[in-house]
Amino acid sequence: MSDTASPRTRSAAWLTLPSLLLFAVMLLTPLSLTLMLSFNEYDAARGATGGFTLSHYAAIVSDGYYLEIFLRTLRIGLITTLLCVVIGVPEAYILSRMAAPWRSVFLMIVLTPLLVSVVVRTFGWSMLLGIEGPVNMLFQAIGIGKTRMLYTEGAVITALVHVMLPFMVIPVWTALQKLDPQVEQAALSFGASRLTAIVRVVLPQIMPGILSGGLIVFGLAASSFAIPGLLGGRRLKMVATTVYDQYLHELNWPMGAAIAVILLIANLIVMLTCHRVVERQYRRRLG
Amino acid sequence: MPRNGSFAILFNTLVVMFMLAPLVIVCLVAFTPENTLSLPGWTWSLRWFRKVFEHPDFVTSFINSLWLATVSASLAVGLAVPASLAITRGNFPGRQALEGLFLSPLVIPHLVLGVALLQMFARIGATGSFVWLALAHVVVITPYAMRLLIAAMTGYDRSVEHAALSLGASRLTVFRRITLPMILPGVSGGWLLCFINSFDEVTMSIFITAPSTITLPVKMYMYATESIDPMMAAVSALIVGLTAATALLLDRIYGLDRVLVGQR
Amino acid sequence: MPFLELDALSKHYGPVKAVDDVSLSVEQGEFISLLGPSGCGKTTTLQMIAGFVDATAGRIRLQGRDITHAPANSRGLGIVFQSYALFPHMTVADNVAFGLEMQKVERAERARRVEQALALVHLDAHAGRYPRELSGGQRQRVALARAIVIRPPLLLLDEPLSNLDAKLREAMQFELRTIQQQVGTTTIMVTHDQAEAFSVSDRVVVMQSGRITQIDTPYEVYEHPASEFISRFVGKTNLLPPATDGGPQRHVRPEKLMLKPAGQGRADATIVDRFFLGSQWLYHLESPLGPMVVVQVNDGSPAHPPGTAVALDWDDAILRTLPEGGR
């Protein structure tokens, strides 16, 4: 029994006031302003002119230029997610089977790049994939020949996978930690092959981890800015870099706002689904 | 403990190389004596590091970033401690909704926040203000402190606080003498995590920094879109070193695995 | 005037009556146990006395003072928590000194009393250690020292021995009682273990579904339980048919039944199974009266193997009948 429902703990609510104030001013207000801006009329000479129009949203769904950008973003996001699953899940599984000191050493090597600025990591990739870079040197050595990789979807996806992989490994690793290793041994003792044991016993148990990791990766990849900005060049635009251009180059703020609103809503849907997945699994486990 | 086969070991080696490659190459290229982005051969040089420290823009933006990260991490922890205390100890309606609100910046693309704040700052004339920039950073880093603190506050036996109360301690004394020392690793770990995240933040900051408040990642982003020379590599190497040092400190204080993997 | 008085104390969570109309008078220096299965309301009762749970109705009076709604940190009670709740970042001595510090006892006096309290629980040599460096039993004694050093009018023990292994628990039961008698503090202990309650208490308060069902000395609770539920909760029992048609059911404890050679007792029986308990043998028997349980002292003579035909015998004086309506 740890019930402390006394009137005194009710008064604790005021402790959240400073944060609430900050979030109201710095989060809710600007987001509402942007939502309103996305319905403003726009005039190339005078900028946002107030009024109410759905024309920006209409343009996004009808104009092939924007559709292509959204489709490209979707495609890059999906491929990144798929690659993160294909690399991250086996890696987490291998890590979880390592002996004591190596396990945490390699886990840290895989996860710590999270803490290094994304600009630095992207810059590293632009050097690795450059026309005179080590990857091209390797390609030449094995006879593929020099390949232009910068400013291609391949470069963007490579860097995205690098940045997102930790977000895939973390939930799968967590799910694997909760797994009873004897369950897999039990499957083996019944004569299941190693592969069958993984597919029939391990995989179903870590599925929620894979699912939530995949959703996080997709959400982050689809809204990524610095990587397509630096590795995609001017032609290979994604949603985030388009918003940047609308705001800072085209100066069509209402259009930029409309794209940003769509990005935000899509992202919230993906992330809340992820939350649901985890929540449901949690409730089921509690019985 | 089951053992990994040789295929698994090869796979792990490739993944580790993939994860480290971009960090290793920036650190190597930083020492090149050449004028172009190239790996140093037999001669290593510190000339590009010297160049960085002679470059006023990089020095200013580095100082801006350090200062900004320090101020906003302190503010974020200062707000997150009482808020998480209320959320974990309080018994008032709307607790869950508040927690959701305070963690929401984790699921809002920084780009969207960036343009939203750009618009608001333009309207209230806050562009170029260090204080408003810091407040924006506080919003995006508070969730990191909050998650760690909520975990720290729910992670221990509450009857310890009851014991202190029963021995005659006031609410404030209980917080000062019992709760705070017990959540101290969470507080300092949260501060460092906030510091790193503020220091690294680029997407939102691009929209709301002015030349006087420009941060290092924004400066680097701008620089990289215009010209590429080994000075970029030298700055990057410095950041990798600084991050590694902070990560080690974080590991000492709170445990890196607990910060990164989370324990909830 | 009783030292501590609970007067129609209740705690309701919505429609659930966790504690319902509990009244109890405790005399100064008494050792009282609240005994019952989990969920019976004993811990909630203790938490209301401690001030961690707010009573829905009723009064708590300590030394004539109404403390029903007084804040927990103004009651000055000594509490030993089930988890011990030691301050992990303080040494043993600092843990014990904390309450004195809150009472603003001056430094020299504080040190003297901490030393005294630690000597009482035989931990004077461990004053500088941290809780994590102690064994379970040692932590338990630090918790006890911390609670009694403030010389509380009332000591509350919440399942104090449940985290200890069986051997240590038994040793600590006696130590707890010895220390309580030395300091003479009125004590209320919550437990679900009847052996623990019996061995240390002056009186046992049996609770069931939020209500008190019996208040008696341990001996009376065991020998004259107020209901069949209590009878079974505090020990094993055998049901015998009524002496007269329509009369009350009779009970007899297994250690009071005697095994005699076949044909020499009041009822024939066959040994079904036997269990060796060290100092005793436990027999399951089948008899015309129904299944029976008998406990016999292990006096060194060989035990009866299963299948042996024996006879059951008893002294009429030890048969018990339950009060009317006792359920």
| Tens-place pLDDT, residues A122-134 | 999 999 998 888 8
Amino acid symbol at B239:
I
* A contact residues 58-87, partner B, Cβ 8 Å cutoff: 87
Predicted pLDDT at C165:
84
Count other Cβ atoms within 10 Å, centred on residue A123: 30
* C contact residues 267-326, partner A, Cβ 8 Å cutoff: none
For residue A123, list chain B residues with Cβ-Cβ distance below 8 A.
Answer: 22, 26, 220, 224, 232-233, 236
8 Å CB contact of C73 and B168: yes
Range list for CATH 2.40.50.140 in chain C:
237-321
User: Average pLDDT of chain A?
Assistant: 88
- Confidence band for B264, pLDDT divided at 50, 70 and 90: very low
**Is A4 a residue whose pLDDT tops 70?**
no
- Confidence band for C98, pLDDT divided at 50, 70 and 90: very high
Examine residue A239 and state whether it is found in any structural domain, yes or no.
yes
Structure tokens at A66: 């924007």
8 Å CB contact of A174 and B240: no
End-to-end Cα, chain A, rounded Å = 21
**Is B262 a residue whose pLDDT tops 70?**
no
Measured CA to CA, the distance from residue C167 to residue B197 in angstroms comes to 53
Give me the interface pTM, i.e. the ipTM. Answer: 0.90
Examine residue A177 and state whether it is found in any structural domain, yes or no.
yes
8 A C-beta contact, residue C136 and residue C172: no
Reported as half-sphere exposure (CB side, CA atoms, 13 A), residue B109 has a value of: 30
Q: Which chains touch B (3 or more CB pairs under 8 A)?
A: A, C
Comparing CA positions, the residue from C212, C213, C211 lying closest to residue C322 is C213
Edge-to-edge order in the sheet of strand C65-66: C16-26, C4-13, C57-62, C65-66
Number of domains in chain A: 1
Lowest mean pLDDT among A41-55, B13-27, B120-134: A41-55
Q: What angle do CA B248, B253, B256 make, to 5 degrees?
A: 55
Comparing CA positions, the residue from B9, B7, B19, B237 lying closest to residue A158 is B19
- Confidence band for C175, pLDDT divided at 50, 70 and 90: confident
User: Average pLDDT of chain C?
Assistant: 91
Comparing CA positions, the residue from B97, B100, B127, B131 lying closest to residue B114 is B127
* A contact residues 236-265, partner B, Cβ 8 Å cutoff: 240, 243-244, 247-248, 253, 256-257, 260-261, 263-264
8 A C-beta contact, residue B216 and residue B236: no
- Select the CATH number that applies to the domain covering B55-261 from these four: 3.40.50.1970, 3.40.50.1820, 1.10.3720.10, 3.90.1580.10: 1.10.3720.10
Q: For an interface test with A, which of C42, C49, C54 has the most A Cβ atoms less than 10 Å from its Cβ? A: C54
End-to-end Cα, chain C, rounded Å = 33
- Confidence band for A283, pLDDT divided at 50, 70 and 90: low
Examine residue A72 and state whether it is found in any structural domain, yes or no.
yes
Lowest mean pLDDT among B118-132, B151-165, C41-55, C241-255: C241-255
Choose the closest CB to C43 out of A1, A4, A5. A1
8 Å CB contact of A4 and C53: yes
E strands present in chain A: 42-43, 47-48
* A contact residues 85-144, partner B, Cβ 8 Å cutoff: 87, 90-91, 94-95, 97-99, 104, 106-128, 130, 132, 134
Q: Mind telling me how many Å the CA of A268 is from chain B's nearest CA?
A: 6
Could you give the dihedral angle defined by the CA atoms of residues C72, C73, C79 and C85, in that order, rounded to the nearest 10 degrees?
Answer: 100
Average pLDDT over residues C220-234: 91
8 Å CB contact of A8 and C47: no
Measured CA to CA, the distance from residue C109 to residue A4 in angstroms comes to 34
* A contact residues 157-186, partner B, Cβ 8 Å cutoff: 159, 162, 165-166, 170, 173-174, 181, 184-185
8 A C-beta contact, residue A156 and residue A231: yes
Average pLDDT over residues C82-108: 94
Examine residue A251 and state whether it is found in any structural domain, yes or no.
yes
Lowest mean pLDDT among A98-102, A181-185, B18-22, C242-246: C242-246
C-alpha Rg value of chain B to the nearest Å:
22
The full set of domain ranges for chain B reads 55-261
Measured CA to CA, the distance from residue A52 to residue A37 in angstroms comes to 9
**Is B263 a residue whose pLDDT tops 60?**
no
- Confidence band for A282, pLDDT divided at 50, 70 and 90: low
CA distances from C271 to A287, C253, C285, C296 (A): 43, 17, 5, 13
Say whether domain C237-321 belongs to CATH 2.40.50.140. yes
Q: C117-147, pLDDT tens digit by residue?
A: 999 999 999 999 999 999 988 999 999 999 9
For residue B194, list chain A residues with Cβ-Cβ distance below 8 A.
Answer: none
Count other Cβ atoms within 10 Å, centred on residue A198: 16
Quick one: three-class SS letters along B18-52? HHHHHHHHHHHHCCCCCCCCCCCCCCCCCHHHHHH
Residues from B in contact with C at Cβ < 8 Å: 156-157, 159-160, 162-171, 173, 177-178, 181-182
Please tell me which of A45-54, A159-168, B87-96, C157-166 the model is most confident about, judged by mean pLDDT: A159-168
Residues in chain B: 264
Predicted pLDDT at A284:
63
Transcribe A60-129 into DSSP letters.
HHH-HHHHHHHHHHHHHHHHHHHHHHHHHHHHHHHHHTS-HHHHHHHHHHHHGGGGS-HHHHHHHHHHHT
Measured CA to CA, the distance from residue C214 to residue C40 in angstroms comes to 13
CA distances from C275 to A91, C279, C283 (A): 54, 11, 6
Predicted pLDDT at B90:
83
Average pLDDT over residues C13-31: 94
Collapsing DSSP states into helix, strand and coil, what is residue C13? Answer: strand
Measured CA to CA, the distance from residue A228 to residue A231 in angstroms comes to 5
Q: B195-234, pLDDT tens digit by residue?
A: 999 999 999 999 999 999 999 999 999 998 887 788 999 9
8 Å CB contact of B162 and C50: yes
Examine residue A193 and state whether it is found in any structural domain, yes or no.
yes
* C contact residues 10-49, partner A, Cβ 8 Å cutoff: 13, 43-44, 47
Residues in chain C: 327
The range of the structural domain enclosing residue A257 comes to: 55-115+152-286
Q: A83-121, pLDDT tens digit by residue?
A: 999 999 999 999 998 988 888 889 989 998 889 999 999
- Select the CATH number that applies to the domain covering C4-229 from these four: 3.40.50.300, 1.10.3470.10, 2.60.120.260, 1.50.10.20: 3.40.50.300
Amino acid symbol at C33:
S
Displacement of CA B259 from its chain's centroid (Å): 11
Q: Mind telling me how many Å the CA of B166 is from chain C's nearest CA?
A: 5
More confident residue, B3 or A163: A163
Measured CA to CA, the distance from residue B61 to residue B56 in angstroms comes to 8
Q: Mind telling me how many Å the CA of A5 is from chain C's nearest CA?
A: 7
Average pLDDT over residues C242-253: 80
Enumerate long-range contacts of C99-106, CB under 8 Å, 24 or more apart.
Answer: C99/B167, C99/B168, C99/C146, C99/C149, C99/C150, C100/C149, C100/C150, C102/B167, C102/B168, C102/B169, C102/B173, C102/C73, C103/B168, C103/C150
Global confidence as pTM: 0.84
8 Å CB contact of A3 and C71: no
**Is C152 a residue whose pLDDT tops 90?**
yes
- Confidence band for C243, pLDDT divided at 50, 70 and 90: confident
Predicted pLDDT at C327:
45
Q: Are strands C65-66 and C57-62 parallel, antiparallel or unpaired?
A: antiparallel
8 A C-beta contact, residue B230 and residue B37: yes
Measured CA to CA, the distance from residue B205 to residue B189 in angstroms comes to 24
For residue A237, the 8-state DSSP code is -
Choose the closest CB to C73 out of B156, B169, B181. B169
User: Does A1 reach chain C within 8 Å, measured CB to CB?
Assistant: yes
CATH number at residue A261: 1.10.3720.10
Choose the closest CB to A117 out of B8, B115, B217. B217
User: Does B30 reach chain A within 8 Å, measured CB to CB?
Assistant: no
Measured CA to CA, the distance from residue B259 to residue B238 in angstroms comes to 23
User: Does C74 reach chain B within 8 Å, measured CB to CB?
Assistant: yes
